[in-house]
Structure 1
Amino acid sequence: MNAPLAGLKVLDLSRVLAGPWCTQLLADLGAEVIKIERPQVGDDTRHWGPPWHGEGDAKVAAYFLATNRGKKSAAIDFAQAEGADLVRKLALTSDVVVENFKVGGLHKFGLDAASLRAANPRLIVASITGFGQDGPYAERAGYDYIIQGMGGLMSITGEPDGAPGGGPMRVGVAVVDLFTGLYTTVAILAALNRRHSSGEGGHIDMALLDTQVAMLANQASNALISGRDPPRQGNTHPNIVPYQPFAAADQPIIIAVGNDRQFARLAAMCGHPEWTSDARFATNAARVANRDAIVALVGDCIREKPAAEWLETLEASGIPAGPINRISQTLADVQAKHRAMVRTIGGVPLVGSPVRIDGERADAELPPPGLGEHTDEVLAGLGLDGDEMARLRAAAIVG
C-alpha cells in the first residue's frame, strides 16, 4: 500500500499504553516511529509478564508486543545531558513528538513542548497525562484503572447492587488508555493538516479523564437530560429492550433488537406475534418501561432450543445476534481469519491493524523492536561515527 503517512517522522517518548497505542497506529499508517527507551530497562511493559515471547535475555512480555509493532527502538538515557542533547537533535528533524510524562516532567531535560517547539516551530508535540496540563488535578499521576473509577465508567459497569456479584467493575481492557491513544492520533492528524496551511506545529494536550468523560457518550447524555445517574445494568442496555444475553438450551447468546420491526420478527419467531399489539411491548419505549416482563417472556422462548439453532434462525430473520466467545475462539473465528486479524511479523504472533484503505491493510511490517535494536541506525542518522557511539555506549548514555 502507498502508506498515507510515509515520510512522517515521529519521536516516541511515551511508554506503557496510551502513547504507544497512538504511535503504533501512526506506524501502521506508514510513519517512521523512533521509540526512545532507557538503556538496560526500556519500556516498563517489556517486563509485564507472563506470558513471555522468547527465551532468556531475549524474552519480552506479550503486553509490550501488543502495542509496539512498526517502531525502531533507540536506547538513550536523556537523564544525562549528552543523552538529552541527542534526543533534542532528533526532535529537530521530527514532525511529531509523543510523550506521556507528568506535567513539567520533561522541562528539566529541555525536552518539554515549549523548548522543543522553540527550536523547531513546525514540530507537533502531543502530551498525554492523566488530568491535563492545567487544573487542580494536573500534578496527579493518572492510571487507566483510577480514571475508570473517577470518570464514571465503573459506576455503570457490572451487575446492579443487590444482584449476585453486584458492584462497580472495571472494563476488561484498559479502554481509557486505548481511547486516549486513538483521540491523540486524531488530534495529531488534524494538527498536521493545519500545518500544511499555517506552517506551524502545535502542542496537543490530551488527558485520560477528559477522554473518559467524552466516551461516556449516551450515558453522559442520559444523565444530563434526565438529571439522574444511570444505574449499573449488567449486560442490558439502558435505552433498548430486548438487548442482552439470553440463555439458550445449551449456552447463552446475545440478542440485540434495535427497532420495532426486528422485535416483530422476534415475536413471530417465538410464536407470539400478539406481543406487538400488546401496549406494554408495542414500542421500544414501552418495552423499556416494562423491561422485566418482556425479558422474561423472551427468555422463556429462547431456552427451548440450542444456541446454534437460534443463531441460524435469528441471522436468517435479520435480527442481530451472536455467541459470547472466549478470546481464543474469537481469534480463531472464520471471519477474523478471513480478515487476517491475526498475523505473524518477524516470528511474533500479533493482532493486526483493523484499518483498511482501498482494500489493503494499513499494517506495519516491522515487528516490535528489541531494546536498543536500532540505536546505531538512529545515531548514524545524526552523523555520529562508530567511535563516538562506542564512547556513548561505554558511558551508559546509549545502549
Structure 2
Amino acid sequence: MLFKVRRCLISPAIFTSRLLFKEKWRNIGVASKKGDVFHCSTSSADGPLVGVRVLDLSRILAGPYCTMILGDLGADIIKVEKPGKGCDSRSWGPPFCGTESAYFLCVNRNKKSVAVNIKTPEGSSIIKQLSKLSDILIENYLPGQLDKMGLGYDHLRVDSPHLIYCSLTGYGQSGPYVKRSGYDIIAAGLGGLMHITGPPDGEPCKVGVAMTDLATGLYAYGSILAAYIHRQKTGRGQHIQCNLLSTQVASLVNIASNYLNADMDAKRYGTAHESIVPYQAFKTSDGYLIVGAGNRKHFEIIAKLLGISSLSKDPRYLDNQKRVANREPLLKMMSDIFLTKTTKQWMKIFDGSGIPYGPINNMKETFSDPQVIHNGMIQEMQHPTAGTIRVPGPAVKFTGSPTVFPTPPPTLGQHTDCVLHDLLGYSHAQVDELRQRGIVQ
C-alpha cells in the first residue's frame, strides 16, 4: 500500500520521463560509428541509481566530481560541453594522455559528452528538451548567466516541475560577492582554510588538492539524493544551492567552534594538531611517521614503544590537556627518538599496537600500498584515443547494488549524435545541419 501511495504522488512528467527512459534509451554506453550513423551501445549497469538521468552543465572539478559519483552508482550522465573547446580542464596540463589532459580524465568517467553551444537559440532549445527527460540538472555558471539564456531554474521548472536543479557557485545566489568568479583557492583563503594550513613559522599554504571543490561536490551529491527522495514523496523538484565559501566555512568544524565559543583564533601547526598531543608527523632517519594519541592509554603505549615509559606518569603529561599545555618539551623529546630509526623500522615497532600510525607516502608508495590495492582503488579503462588509462576508483562499496562497470571519460562531443538522434529524435540531417552551423560538435 505504501508503494501505491507514493506512486500516485509521482507527477505525469516524471512518469513520462521514466517510460521514455526504460523503453527508448536505458543507458548510453559508448558511441560507435558505422558508416554515417552513430549507435549508442547499452550497458548492463546494476547500480542503485540506474534509471536516473543527470544533465551536467558543470565544468572543472566540483560539479564533475559530483556527477562522476552519481555515474559510478549507475546514473546516466549527459555532460554538456562547449563545441571546439569543451570543459576547461581538458586543457589543464601537462601531463596529457594522448590529446586528453590527465586532469580531465580524473573526474569524468561514466559520462556522455554532448557538445552544444547553449548560447544559441537552437542550443538552448536542446537543453530545454533534455531537461524534460532528465531527473537532475547540475550547473556552475555565475548566478544569472543561465537565466539570460532561458535556462535558469525558474525557466525550466515551468515545463519540467519534476526537475532537481543544483547550482554550484563561488559564494551563493545573492550577496556582495555574487558576481565574483569562484575558485577553490580563493574560497580556501576567504573561508579560513589557508590560514590554518602550513608550517607554524611559514606562509599560509593551499592544500595539495582542491579540497574545497571536492567537499562542495560531495555536499551537492548528498543534497541531490535528498532532493530525489523528497521528490519521490511529493512529485516535485526543487532548486539546490551550493557554494564553495559556505562549504569551506562549514568545514572548519572544531576550529570554527574554538573561535565562536571560546574566542580562540587558530594558527598553523604544520602536521600537528591544535587540541591533541601527540598527533602529528615525526621525522625519521629516512622519512616521516604519523603517530596519534587520542587518549591516555594511547599515550602510555607510545611512551612504552619509544622506550620512555616514565613519561606517561610525568605530571606534565598525565592527560591530553596537560600534554597540549606542555607540547614543546614533549614533542622535542619524541622527535629526537624518532630520528634514530627508519620509517620501516618504526612501522614494525608500532605494528599491532592499536595506535593510529602510518607513513607519509608519495604517489608511487600510495598506489603500491597493499591496503590501497586490496580496496580496489586503481581503476583501469580503455580510452578511445588515450589508450589504457588508470584513475582512482570509487571510494564506497555496496553489498546489494554494486558500482557500475566503468566507461572511460568521453572525447569532446563523442555522444552528440546518439543523444540528439536516439533520445530527442533529431534526424541525422538535422544534426549535420546544426554541426555545419557550429551549434553542435
Deviation by residue 1:305-355 (Cα, 9 ceiling, x = unmatched): 222121111122111111111112101212111222112112221111111
| Aligned mates of 1:264, 1:185 — CA distance in 2 | 42
- In structure 1, runs of 5+ residues without a counterpart are none
| Aligned mates of 1:153, 1:169 — CA distance in 2 | 9
Structure 2 residue 317 is the aligned partner of structure 1 residue 281: yes
Alpha-carbon distance, 1:379 to partner: 0.1
Alpha-carbon distance, 1:137 to partner: 1.3
The aligned residue for residue 357 of structure 1 is 398
Distance of aligned partners of 1:258 and 1:281 in 2 relative to their CA distance in 1, 3 Å threshold: same
Aligned-partner SS, 1:232: coil
Structural mapping, 1:109-188, within 5 Å? 109-160=149-200, 163=201, 166-188=202-224
Deviation by residue 1:47-86 (Cα, 9 ceiling, x = unmatched): 11110011xxxx1111100111100000111111111101
Q: Which moved more, 1:203-212 or 1:354-363?
A: 354-363
> Which residue, out of 67, 91, 100, partners 1:60?
100
Contact 1:156 1:230 in 2 (8 A): yes
The aligned residue for residue 266 of structure 1 is 302
Structure 2 residue 378 is the aligned partner of structure 1 residue 338: no
Structure 2 residue 439 is the aligned partner of structure 1 residue 397: yes
TM-score in terms of structure 1 length: 0.96
The aligned residue for residue 71 of structure 1 is 111
Deviation by residue 1:195-243 (Cα, 9 ceiling, x = unmatched): 0111100000111000000111111111112202111111100111011
> Which residue, out of 75, 80, 91, partners 2:131?
91
| Aligned mates of 1:224, 1:362 — CA distance in 2 | 41
Structural mapping, 1:15-26, within 5 Å? 15-26=59-70
Alpha-carbon distance, 1:359 to partner: 7.8
The aligned residue for residue 51 of structure 2 is 7
Deviation by residue 1:116-144 (Cα, 9 ceiling, x = unmatched): 11111010000000000112211211111
The aligned residue for residue 413 of structure 2 is 372
| Aligned mates of 1:260, 1:272 — CA distance in 2 | 15
Contact 2:54 2:136 in 1 (8 A): yes
Contact 1:34 1:71 in 2 (8 A): yes
Aligned-partner SS, 2:315: coil
| Aligned mates of 1:372, 1:269 — CA distance in 2 | 59
> Which residue, out of 181, 184, 201, partners 2:237?
201
| Aligned mates of 1:397, 1:97 — CA distance in 2 | 21
The aligned residue for residue 425 of structure 2 is 383
The aligned residue for residue 28 of structure 2 is none
Q: What amino acid is aligned across from residue 187 of structure 1 in structure 2?
A: S
Alpha-carbon distance, 1:21 to partner: 0.7
| Aligned mates of 1:370, 1:11 — CA distance in 2 | 17
| Aligned mates of 2:401, 2:372 — CA distance in 1 | 15
Distance of aligned partners of 1:359 and 1:325 in 2 relative to their CA distance in 1, 3 Å threshold: farther
Alpha-carbon distance, 1:88 to partner: 0.5
| Aligned mates of 2:401, 2:327 — CA distance in 1 | 44
The aligned residue for residue 36 of structure 2 is none
The aligned residue for residue 44 of structure 1 is 88
Alpha-carbon distance, 1:360 to partner: 7.2
Structure 2 residue 359 is the aligned partner of structure 1 residue 317: no
Alpha-carbon distance, 1:272 to partner: 2.2
The aligned residue for residue 285 of structure 2 is 249
Q: Stretches of 4+ moved more than 3 A in 1?
A: none
Deviation by residue 1:166-190 (Cα, 9 ceiling, x = unmatched): 0111111111110000000000000
Aligned-partner SS, 1:376: helix
| Aligned mates of 2:180, 2:207 — CA distance in 1 | 22
| Aligned mates of 2:276, 2:187 — CA distance in 1 | 27
Q: Identity, % of aligned pairs?
A: 45
| Aligned mates of 2:337, 2:352 — CA distance in 1 | 18
Q: Note the aligned Cα RMSD (angstroms).
A: 1.3
> Which residue, out of 302, 308, 318, partners 2:338?
302
Q: Which moved more, 1:143-152 or 1:328-337?
A: 328-337
- Aligned residue pairs: how many? 391
Contact 2:48 2:401 in 1 (8 A): no
Q: What amino acid is aligned across from residue 386 of structure 1 in structure 2?
A: H
Distance of aligned partners of 1:360 and 1:320 in 2 relative to their CA distance in 1, 3 Å threshold: farther
Contact 1:50 1:61 in 2 (8 A): yes
| Aligned mates of 2:284, 2:401 — CA distance in 1 | 39
- In structure 2, runs of 5+ residues without a counterpart are 1-44, 383-387
The aligned residue for residue 190 of structure 1 is 226
| Aligned mates of 1:116, 1:41 — CA distance in 2 | 26
Q: Which moved more, 1:351-360 or 1:130-139?
A: 351-360
Aligned-partner SS, 1:97: strand
TM-score in terms of structure 2 length: 0.87
